[in-house]
Every structure is written in C-alpha cells, then in structure tokens.
Amino acid sequence: MKLTRRSFIKTAGLGSLAVSSGSLSAISKEIPLKVEVLNPYNRVPVSLIIDDSTCLVNMAYYGIPQFAEVFPDQYKQNWKKLPREIPDSFVREFGEWCLENGVKGKYSVVPYPACTGWVNRFIPGWTRRELDDSLNLIKEVILPNWDVHPEMVSHTRVIDIKTGKPFPYATPEYMENWEWSQAKSVDELASYQAYALAILKEAGLPCEGLTTPGGYGGRNQNNLAMSTLEALRDVYRTEVPHYFRDLFTEKGKSVAPKVLFPSDLEGSDPKCVVSIIGCTDDWFGGWDGLVPGNADNFITEDLMSGRMVEVIESGEPAIIVCHWPGVYFNGERTGFSILKQVKKRLDQKYDNLIWMKLSEIARYWAAKELTGITAKKGYITFKAPFSSPGFSVKLNTTVRSPGIKRGAGDLIHFERVKDKRALKANTWYSEKTQTFLCFNLEKGINDLILS
C-alpha cells in the first residue's frame, strides 16, 4: 500500500464492541435454515468522496502557504499560479452531471476554509450575495445526491473555539492536519467537531457525518469515533452518525464499513457510529490540482483490472476518494474528465452496482450488523434498532409466497421477480435451493413470513 495523507494507523480495540448479526442458523424440520444478510438490493454499493471542497475558496491556493510555513521542505508548490476560486459555474456543471448520471457520495464544505472567512457569515474577497448564491447552489445541485460534511473547522490552523480565532502558532501541534488531535479527549474532540457542525447548521446545510482533515485523529481513533457520535447527535440529532478518516488501497484489505460502539440497542434510543473506508487514492488530479491522474488505476480500458474491479468483485462497498481542486484542475477539469471515464467503464462492465451517499451506506451497515435475527417454523423475525431501505437476505431454501408483517399491520405479500438483479422492496426471487428477498427494514420488529 502506498502511503497517503490518510494512511491508516491501527488502534487496538477499535470497534471491539460491535455486534454482528450478518448470518443465522436455526433448526427447521430437516435442515438448518440459514439467513445471510446481503448488500442493499443485492447490489454492490459505489460512492464518491470529495474532500477539500467548500464555498468559492480553492483550498489548495490558501492552504499550501499555511502548510509550507510548518513544513517548508514538503510544500514547495508554486501556489501563486493556482486560481484562488473554484467557481460556482463548475459546481453547477459537476452537480448537474452527477444528477443526470446517478453519481452519489460525500461533498465537504469546510466551514472556515483555510481561515479566509466563514461560510455562515462572510468570506473576504466575495460579496455576501456571492456566498449566499454559492450556498443555495449546493442545496440545489449537490444535496440531492450528496452528504455534506465539515472537514473540521479550517483544514489548516486549529481554531480557539472560545474566541473564534486561529491559534498564532505555525507548528504541527496547532494544525488540524497533524498533531493537535492525537491526544485529545473525547470531550475535547467532540466540542471542536460540534463547533464545525454548528457553522454548517447555521448556514442551512444538513449533516449526518464528518470528514477528518489530513491525519486528524489518526492515532486517536477510539476517541475520534466516540466524539463523532457525540457531536453529531448533539448538533443534528443524527440517528446513525458516520465519518470518513481512512482509506486502503492494498489488495485484499477489507474496506467494509465498521460499525462501532453500539449501545442501548434494546431501548428507544439506540446508538452507534460508522467508520466509512475509502478504497482508492486520489487518482484524479491530486489534492492540489497539480498532478494529473489516470483512469486505469480505477478500472483499465479493457475493464479487466484496477482497484475498483478488485473491490467490486469482493462485494464490499467501492468508495472512491478525490479532492475538489484536483477535480477542477485549475479550470482544465482533468479530474472531472477522469471521473466521467471511470463512470463509463463501470457502466460497461457491471449491471449490479448502486450509487449511494455515505449516510445511506452507514445506515445499511448499522442495520446489517446490529439487527437481531431469529427463526421459527414459518417465519423469521428481524429485530432492528435502525431502519434501512432495500434490506436484502438470502435463504438456503425455496419459498412459495413470502411476505412481511409488522406488529398488528396487514401482511404485505411480495412480488416475484424473474432476475435477482431486479430486486426492490417487497420482491423475491428463487433459484434451485435459494431464495433472495428484499424489503424495507423498519425500526423494531419485522416478521418475514415464509410459505
């Protein structure tokens, strides 16, 4: 695996409390009935993570000189030749293409981008009208297909949340990307993250997750997970908080989401937090928009290899990672062109993908891992702490007329489909000795009736 700014640092015990209910064996008449929880709609989730995006500000232009002040030997890019702005005309072009082509994922809005100004107040160099128009554009063309995350407060200097001012020290200990977060308590991290979330909330943006800037929390991952849970529940009352911190490009390394710190699953207010893991490096245009990428790293022209092929064929969510300055690539749109090529190749090779937001993936994995499953003669009970659409299971037997019943409600009969790739809510498909079923899992008791 090539080292990246998100290189994973394994933390002993992370997620040790997670409970898995992905399969079940219960004695039926003659053979054990096995229930396997599948991917949503029996498809492979695909998603796109966009980092370093915000309103108007090109984070590379304003961020590089701040990083260079801390590490002058590592940041020698000629940042002055970069544009200071990534224009809203490109946001619209990109967002409308994604809407037309079904591309979904996560789009950062850095709240105080590189200490230039506040997205909920004003950013010097742009008028208030320009900022309002930029926020409204995000609501119009980004929110339908994307989760919005803060990438902490500034993505450069650490902010004193008591004063709102950056700390005056250009050292790793006072930069969000490096040392500041590595020894902070859950409460300290949660307060800082809640500060970032509150800015987006005041700007009118919904939020169910957050993204870490650079190495933020890399050696403090238990506290990062718990603080994410606390901050998102506090500011947004998020039911299933999630965050993006790590990516793995190593072949054979699992990139399945991690459902962490579940609690109160039997009560009215169950809790957990989900760590979303990317599977690619930035092979679009780099974080600074200065290094052209290559579509072949994702999926080759002959459609036979590439990181996306490896992950999709493993059945785990294939989540692409890139950076907004590299997608725009200083107006040349190099990264955007590569994304279009990758999407075209994926469509040519696969007919079993589903593009999802990170929040949708997080919710499904929480339901998949934490739903209790028990079987009795003629029915299977799913006791779910969280709801999730498109919940799909496979049985090692055939059925004739299945349906779903919830409490005192009526039995909803499933419609049989001719291809398991056509599964949608309240449908089923049988082949030889297997049955595939799909339904919308509701919080509480769901009885799958078999007949």
Whether pLDDT at 8 is above 60: no
Return the closest-CA partner of residue 299 out of 324, 279, 277, 327: 279
Residue of 391, 309, 385 whose CA lies nearest to 39: 391
Question: What is the percent of the chain where pLDDT is above 70?
Answer: 93
Residue 156 domain-assigned (yes or no): yes
Query: Do residues 142 and 33 share a domain?
Result: no
* Sequence-separated (6 or more) residues with CB below 8 Å from residue 178: 70, 172, 214, 215
Q: What is the pTM of this model?
A: 0.93
- The reply to whether 31 and 51 lie within a common domain is no
In angstroms, the CA 4 to CA 137 distance is 32
Beta partners for 436?
Answer: 394, 429
Of the candidates 350, 364, 285, the one whose C-alpha atom is nearest the C-alpha of residue 40 is 364
Stretch 156-171: mean pLDDT? 97
- C-alpha 128/C-alpha 135 separation (Å) is 11
In a domain, 200, yes or no: yes
Using DSSP's 3-state secondary structure scheme, residue 35 falls into strand
Considering the domain architecture, whether residues 248 and 393 belong to the same structural domain is answered as: no
Residue 190: name the closest of 147, 153, 237, 223 by CA. Answer: 223
Structural domain contains residue 52? yes
Same domain, 153 and 186: yes
Both tokens assigned to 111: 């709240």
Question: What does the pLDDT read at residue 30?
Answer: 59
What is the average pLDDT across 399-415?
A: 94
Taking residues 114-118, report their average pLDDT: 98
Question: Which of 361, 393, 411 marks a domain boundary?
Answer: 361
Q: Are residues 33 and 65 located together in one domain of the fold?
A: no
- Strands 44-51 vs 105-108: parallel, antiparallel or unpaired: parallel
395 and 337 in one domain? no
Q: Name the strand (E) or helix (H) holding 159.
A: strand 159-160
Percent of the chain scoring above 90 in pLDDT? 91
Together in a domain, 225 and 307? yes
For residue 5, is pLDDT > 90? no
Is there a single domain that holds both residue 31 and residue 145?
A: no
Q: Are residues 397 and 272 in the same domain?
A: no
pLDDT digits 0-9 by tens, 132-145? 999 999 999 999 99
Residue 248 three-state SS? coil
Determine contact, residues 283/4, Cβ cutoff 8 Å.
no
Average pLDDT over residues 176-202: 98
User: Taking residues 240-254, what's their average pLDDT?
Assistant: 97
Residues 159 and 212 in one domain: yes
pLDDT in tens, 394-405: 999 999 999 999
Domain count across the chain: 2
Whether the per-residue pLDDT at 76 is higher than 80: the answer is yes
Q: What is the pLDDT of residue 377?
A: 85
Q: Domain ends where: 305, 334, 361? A: 361
Indicate whether 267 pLDDT > 90. Answer: yes
DSSP assignment string, 391-438: EEEEESS--SS-EEE-TTSPPEEPEE-SSGGG--TTEEEEETTEEEEE
**Domain carrying residue 444:** 23-40+373-449
Do 348 and 384 lie in one domain? The reply is no
Asked whether residue 9 carries a pLDDT value surpassing 80, the answer given is: no
**Dist CA 326 CA 52 (whole Å):** 10
Average pLDDT (235-256) is 97
pLDDT at 304 exceeding the cut of 70: yes
With beta carbons less than 8 A apart as the criterion, state whether 121 and 167 touch.
no
Q: What is the pLDDT of residues 229-241, one digit of tens each?
A: 999 999 999 999 9
Residues 317 and 381 in one domain: no
